[in-house]
Structure 1
């Protein structure tokens, strides 16, 4: 399965200070912490938001003519951050499907995205795992990338548990801030038809919320120190559902985390990498 991907999309996005600030404010308001003051730093997760239109274009390309668009389930996300997106810059976005594999519930995709800044340098690289539900195309190709392996630090190991919720109004606000208006997040009937007990929170909103907490807790409030983020999404999160987030540190640059609901693990194998030398 070594055939090169023929599924790709590109875009150019202008980034405003207002949208960067609003995105972080929505998340920080949900966890009851102070809003960011002064010149806004972008969320390290924001490149995913910028790439969403290109991701949607890829799904359109993969949908056979005359057939309904398949549901898209987000399975995993990794983001490598070279630097934060800057207010006022225009970024180039290039997305391609690296691999496709048939599974019992549809077709699993590995999607790579590169975000390039005004200066021509790479801002961020994203690796997204997704499932096209009940899809039978495309034909399998490529090799699924291995998940990032984390190196243990020198210790000691410390665990910190925190609790949070995503209120229903935050789900609505996040849809507007991110541009993700998938009906499973907004419409009870659509969510139930998709097999969920009701509307569900955006998985990326929870990942971005956790990133905000890590920035404050472990990176001195400086989002520019975040150099990588990753997790596997294992179960949906419902609005207002209590979340138990457990952080594990071991003296190294990586904060590992899991996120649990009363129904079980929602995020597995989570990690946020922090650069002790880099500042915004």
Structure 2
């Protein structure tokens, strides 16, 4: 039986409200200090009790509303975040199309940043040299490779980052809304590159709000809601679950507004001055 390339078991991670997840040791001290002061812990679990297996060559769309743990899940897979419960394991290295300018230094040139980021992701000097021309051609930054990155626009940084990451030979590709940036021509180039990587048999975990992109790249979908895995099936099934949850919440909001409006009207009526019998006749 084929072994999963990514496996999650009872996976969960906890954040303190209003604080970023800095690190396990520091977090322990923060919580301990809060408890000593009698401050009630305000923990938030963006993900909890999550279980799934992803197999080599799978293309899986992670679907859910904002704040439901999609990007957090990708960061757990990469190892950037450490779970508080359970575990996530992966076999093989990750090419992360998440923060495309991560690892870049503003004081270094584009050329130097290609070497830096490539090395950070495990590429040898020989591999970087062999791929350098392709990276530059893709990013269309031939005239700026000897310019310090601090003079690049955000779009130029994204182009360079995408060019480097997609040259990594790693078997797992994580994409977090990377196709939502850039102009139409750049998006088409990104789409062509990802399609090519999938044909090579790479494993894709794809976070997107675009139903079209999800259906284009993914056969399987995982729908997350309120930090839990609700649906793990075809991408169409996961999208249907998402739409059902959206409708349910919209109906609940409409019902709540109706109740609030009725309560306000009742309160205003109760606060209105009562008419004294005969007062109108006396006034006339």
Bin of the TM-score, shorter chain as denominator length: under 0.3
Q: Which has the larger radius of gyration?
A: 2
Structure whose residues are more often helix by fraction: 2
TM-score between the two structures when normalised by the length of structure 2: 0.24
TM-score by structure 1 length? Answer: 0.25
Larger strand proportion of the pair: 1
Higher RCO (CA 8 Å, separation ≥ 6 residues): 2
